[in-house]
């Protein structure tokens, strides 16, 4: 890689990165709590339903 081709990380990147890490990490926390409180079938169904929501928001072409 050429010298100077990688940009420096600025402090302005910190809030979006923290938000992304909170969103990403919370999914694992919810799975851990769900595995303790729900049956495997209910947990799998819930994950499929919640995972389908973003795809349903995209218009069909």
Q: What pLDDT sits at residue 35?
A: 86
In 5-33, which positions are buried (b, 16+ CB within 10 angstroms) versus exposed (e)? eeeeeeeeeeeeeeeeeeeeeeeeeeeee
Residue 15 has pLDDT above 60, yes or no: yes
Residue 1 has pLDDT above 60, yes or no: no
Q: How confident is the model over 17-57, as pLDDT tens digits?
A: 999 999 888 888 888 888 899 898 998 898 888 888 877 77
- For residue 48, which of 31, 25, 29, 24 has the smallest C-alpha distance? 31
pTM to 2 decimal places: 0.47
Binning pLDDT at 50, 70 and 90, where does residue 5 land? low
């Amino acid at each position: 890689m050429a010298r100077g081709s990688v940009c420096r990380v600025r402090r302005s990147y910190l809030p979006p990165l923290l938000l992304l890490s909170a969103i990403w990490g919370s999914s694992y926390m919810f799975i851990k709590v769900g595995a303790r409180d729900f049956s495997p079938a209910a947990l799998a169904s819930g994950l499929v339903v919640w995972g389908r929501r973003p795809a349903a928001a995209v218009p069909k072409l």
